[in-house]
Amino acid sequence: MKPVAFEYERPRTIDAALEHLATAPNAKILAGGQTLGPMLNLRLVQPDLLIDITRIPELVSVSDEGDALKIGACVTHASIEDARVEDHANGYLRRVASGIAYRAVRTRGTLGGSLSHADPAADWLSALLVLKAELEITGLHGSRRVGLKKFVRGAMETDLSPEELLIAVHVPRSEKTARHGYYKICRKTGEFADAIGAVSFNPGSGGFCLVAAGGSEQPVTFESPENLFSQGDPLDPDSFDMPMAMDALREAGMEADDYELQVRAVAMSRAMQDAMSP
Ligand SMILES: Cc1cc2nc3c(=O)[nH]c(=O)nc-3n(C[C@H](O)[C@H](O)[C@H](O)COP(=O)(O)OP(=O)(O)OC[C@H]3O[C@@H](n4cnc5c(N)ncnc54)[C@H](O)[C@@H]3O)c2cc1C
Q: What is the number of the ligand 1 atom nearest to the C-alpha of 165?
A: 42
Q: Cα angle at 214 between 209 and 217, to 5 degrees? A: 90
Domain span at 166: 59-172
Tell whether ligand 1 has an atom less than 6 A from the beta carbon of residue 6.
no
Distances (CA, A) of 46 to 145, 164, 190: 30, 19, 28
d(CA 88, CA 22): 37
pLDDT value at 1 more than 80: no
Q: Do 83 and 137 belong to one domain?
A: yes
Least Cα distance to 44 among 170, 209, 156, 171 occurs for 156
- Identify any residues that bridge with 184 across adjacent strands, giving them in sequence order: 196
Q: What pLDDT was estimated at residue 136?
A: 98
Task: Tell whether 64 and 167 lie within a shared domain.
Answer: yes
Domain check: are 193 and 168 in the same one?
Answer: no
Q: Per residue in 184-213, pLDDT tens?
A: 999 888 788 999 999 999 887 778 999 999
* Per-residue model confidence (pLDDT) at position 133: 98
Structure confidence by residue, pLDDT tens digits, 93-131: 999 999 999 999 999 999 999 999 999 999 999 999 999
Note the pLDDT tens digit of each residue in 21-64. 999 989 999 999 999 999 999 999 999 999 999 999 999 999 99
With respect to residue 29, please indicate whether it lies within any of the assigned structural domains. Answer: no
User: Within a domain: residue 186?
Assistant: yes
Confidence of residue 226 (pLDDT cuts 50, 70, 90): confident
> Could you tell me if residue 86 is inside a domain?
yes
Query: What's the pTM value of the predicted model, to 2 decimals?
Result: 0.95
Total domains in the fold of the chain? 2
Nearest atom within ligand 1 for CA of residue 30: 30
Q: Is 218 found in the same domain as 128?
A: no
Q: How far is the CA of 108 from the centre of ligand 1 (A)?
A: 9
User: Closest ligand 1 atom, CA of 99?
Assistant: 8
- CATH number of the domain within which 125 lies: 3.30.465.10
Q: Would you say residue 206 lies in a domain?
A: yes
113 alpha carbon to ligand 1 midpoint, in Å? 4
In a domain, 225, yes or no: yes
